[in-house]
Structures are given as structure tokens and as C-alpha cells.
Amino acid sequence: MRVRTVTELRRPTDPHIAALGSSLHELRRDRLELAEKVAGLTWDLGGLTYEMAVRDHYRLDVLARRAAELQEADAQLGEIERVLAAAEDGVHGTCRACGSVHSRGAAFCWHCGATLLSESRPAVLGGPAGESPAGSSSSP
């Protein structure tokens, strides 16, 4: 697994991240891997601290290095969870033409360009857009 930096994780906030199901799948997989890594690093740091305490010999440089590694992995995990939450909250439906996911309020599919919103007109307005209702005139 290639661990992404926080800067790289901020890039996927472009409009395509919410629409790319495969990217969401990869982010979910990365989240699980990072959660396992954070749990392992936490366990190791606790064990290391315990062993140093038992021996009454603390190496602060070693503890600080391990804590920094844990902090970086935890920050990456937090950023992935933030991106996933934003992307999953933004998914509203799928395109009838190609099946790609789209966000709430999208008018056109990002993938195929198909119209996502069907236009409905009130009966009072009558015909196509731009025409005035029957029986009314626009001149005085």
C-alpha cells in the first residue's frame, strides 16, 4: 500500500471524487489498511513505553520518533475519513444512461453528459418554454 500525504489526500476533493465509485472503493480500502496500521503503531508505542518503564531507561528520541510516525498515520486516516464522509454524503443517485453516481442537484451526468433532471411544467403554463399561456397577450 502506498501511503498518501495529507496534501495528496486533499486533491481528490475535485468534483470527480464523488462520482468515481472506484476511487471511493480505493479510499475505503486505504482507510482499513491505515486503521490497522494506526492500531499496530499504537500497540507498539504502548509496548515500547512499558518496556522502557520496566527497565527505568527512557529513550525520548525513540518515543518521539514512534509517536511522530503514529501521529502522521493517524492524520492520514483522519483525512481519508473526512474525504469519504464528504464524498458519501454528496452521492445522491445514479445516471439512468451509464450508471455513474452523481451528487444531489446535478443537472447532467459527469461521465456521459445525459440529463439527470426531468423537466416538468405546470399545466397553467402550457406549451414549450418561452410561449405565453393560451388566451393571454403580451401587447397592451
Q: Within a domain: residue 96? A: no
**pLDDT at 6 exceeding the cut of 60:** no
Beta strand pairing call for 91-94 and 101-103: antiparallel
Over residues 48-99, the pLDDT tens digits come to 999 999 999 999 999 999 999 999 999 999 988 887 887 766 667 778 888 7
Q: Within a domain: residue 101? A: no
Distance (Å, rounded) from C-alpha 137 to C-alpha 134? 8
Q: What is the pLDDT of residue 105?
A: 73
Q: Within a domain: residue 66? A: yes
Q: Within a domain: residue 132? A: no
Mean pLDDT, the chain, rounded, equals 76
Which of 82, 83, 77 has its CA nearest to residue 16?
Answer: 83
Q: What is the pLDDT of residue 29?
A: 92
| Domain enclosing residue 21, as ranges | 6-91
Q: Within a domain: residue 52? A: yes
**pLDDT at 33 exceeding the cut of 80:** yes
Structurally, the chain folds into a number of domains equal to 1
Q: Within a domain: residue 71? A: yes
The reported pTM is: 0.51
Q: Within a domain: residue 10? A: yes
Q: Within a domain: residue 125? A: no
